[in-house]
Chain A
Amino acid sequence: MNAENDHIALDDITLAYFNHDSALIYGIGNIGRQDDGLGWEFIDSLETSSACPKAEKVKFYQLNLEDADLIKDKRRVLFVDASKDATVDTFRLYKAEQKMDFSFTSHAMSIETIMATCWQCFGKIPEVYVLAIRGYEWELEIGLTTRATSNLALAISHVARPVAKQLRQANDYAQCNIGA
């Protein structure tokens, strides 16, 4: 993993950290199922505001094995997904670690498993963060709930906030180490 970047505190992680052409921001979800669309709405918000312009941005319904190939050449990846976790009050940003998770089906895999597969197959792995935004309703309906919309706004304002270390983060980017 990226030991040289471990000094970067989670509080210092902002969009500036991903504003690079070897970074990926990946929205997971389904806009047809209410708050499951949070990941996509996040990406739409970035594109509308032209924020983090250098990063590649993608939106998919769920993770699949080929995403190991998608992330293998990236230096930093931010996954944005809706969360049902009641302990997540509004949103949670955390660093993900690779892990073989055996609860997968042929329809979906976890972020940790994609990372582990990437490592097993390609011998390298990006630095991965997850922005989990709390959602509440998952029925067959288009549109976020009011509370999820509010949580999305809080999450965006958190990662888009200016921090003193942003310039240093941008400089750090060129030095970040890929692979184990």
Chain B
Amino acid sequence: METLWFLIVALMLVAYVVLDGFDLGAGAIHLIAGKTDAGRTAIIRAIGPVWDGNEVWLLATGGTLYFAFPLLYASSFQGFYLPLMIVLWLLMLRAIGIEFRAHSTSEVWRGFFDVVFCGASALLAVFFGAALGNVVRGVPLGKDGLFFLPLWTNWRVGPEPGILDWYTVLSGVLALVALTVHGALYIGLKTEGDVNTRARKIASALWPVQLGLTLLSLFASVWANPALATNFKRWPIGVAIPVLVFASLFAMWRLHAKGNEKYAFLSSCAYLALMLGGAAFAAYPNVLLASGDPANNLTIYNTATGAYGMKVGFVWWSIGIVIAIGYFVFLFKMFKGKVDMAEGGYGH
């Protein structure tokens, strides 16, 4: 049952990263790919009807994590207090940016909110990547399963790390690049004309960087935390995950070069899912690794809620998620196709 909930939380996280990932990425390239006011409006319109629903996946994932693994939630949210508060402020700034840009009639303020939106989106991508880096690298968990991390460190990975060191910054940059490409492919899919061309150029330019950073982070992860290799030794089939990661990267490149926008974007979705899947596979059954004594690792077993709770939770969760997926399929169908600038946006 614990394993089942581990998979559920991992899947919901993948859904969040794949969905909100493209609008974060679109936000990160908003200024460059949009270029003109009209171009930027096109980008906002491409994500307008869905970004808010995408962000709900973060809340739903958080809620599910909270009830299935209360100790993990309690420990990590306290330990990552400062970066999480920064994430909250960035999420607010981003919503302010996108919302008020739409309501501003003055060019000056539209430009200002464009910068707010773009900056907050890019920084969020970096912070999410760094967060994952922290989980993979390990944190100084005590015997009670708790910790508190300072923001700044001496940039070295060690038994007493901080939020930002060379490894987590590397993860953050990789996340930014990967989500930017993801967002650029989405914008390519949803727009026409100049914006489309610029978005495609960005994806082409960043692809080699993404490949290089993926390769680098693979080695860096095992170097920063050798324990990550254990599961791959125990279940050699797991080696298929990194292989598939690179396969999806190359598929993305080929499809993108051929101009197959839809499948290039889907390959990017697969890439993100596989990267997260790989991290989850390497960590299992741990959910938060201790940088010191491995006996202090938080696992799915010592953080999970009771058996009854997990059982009834599974019943309502299954029903709820089927309905939710139904909404999303319907919503994306309603707003499918390229953004039509002449029509003046969606509906009304």
Whether chain B is bound by chain A comes out as: no
Interface residues of B (CB under 8 A from A): none
